[in-house]
Amino acid sequence: MIEDIPPIKPRVIQYRIENVSTTMKEMFGITISEGEVQEILYQLSDVLGKEYLNLLYDIRRAPSRHMDKTSSRENGSNTNLWVFVTKAEAIFHTAMSNSHDVALDILGEHNGTDIHDRYSAFDNLASKTGNAQQYCWAHIISDTKELEDFYGEEGRRIRESLQRIYDKSKSFNGNGAHEDIDHLYERLTFLLDTGYNHLETRKFADNLIKRRKEWLFRFVIDPEVEPTKTGLKELSGLQ
């Protein structure tokens, strides 16, 4: 018997009406006016509205959630796709704004830990909610690989140092103590606070050292927190 598989639930996607008309034409060859789309939405509003509220409730009550924002251009205008994902739910929301207010409107007062890629809007959200945070280590390691590509040995040294720290952090399996976070952060600072020849490598190291240690290593003491946004990049691609 396969255990620990979360139930599959619907995902609610908020999509602009004009984009629905265009997508139906391009992907399925179906011509449908914006007025017809609006009428269909009116007919489905009761069902979808209830499902959306249920998903919002579950995401807000979850012990943790992954968050992401992807920018793109639609019909000559900038737009942002916001994604909020738990183990069993996902909500997509398009908005012109890239402000933390978008996430705050969707999540409202919510529980648990927010997991994200250090985007400033999510840090601003944290200042409003006071929720625990976890920075995504997949993004951190990915950034160091770019440093290695551009700056060679200095970037490689940063990448290998952070990879060792991350591997050590995972070994606690969420059952570590606050003292373990202290030791990991001290080790991170020791390895990164050194001489650099390139400004970008120095800026990256300084920026990471200045981050709150609890937001770097929350997953060390909380088994409900996943330190990477596994699968979220693929979900964000559904624009």
DSSP for 195-235, please give it.
--SSHHHHHHHHHHHHS-HHHHSHHHH-TT--SS-TTHHHH
113-135 tens-digit pLDDT: 999 999 999 999 999 999 999 99
58-102 tens-digit pLDDT: 999 999 999 999 887 777 778 888 989 998 888 888 888 889 999
pLDDT at res. 239: 32
Enumerate residue ranges in the chain where pLDDT < 50.
1-8, 10, 12-13, 231, 234-239
How many C-beta atoms lie closer than 10 Å to residue 76's C-beta?
Answer: 5
**CA nearest to 57, candidates 95, 12, 15, 100:** 12
pLDDT at res. 94: 84
Stated pTM of the model: 0.77
Element (H, E) at 184: helix 178-192
Residues in the chain: 239
Residue with tokens 């200045």: 210
Q: For domain 12-134, give the CATH number.
A: 3.30.420
Geometric angle at alpha carbon 171, from 165 and 176, rounded to 5°: 95
Element (H, E) at 143: helix 137-151
Residue 126 CA to residue 132 CA, distance in Å, equals 8
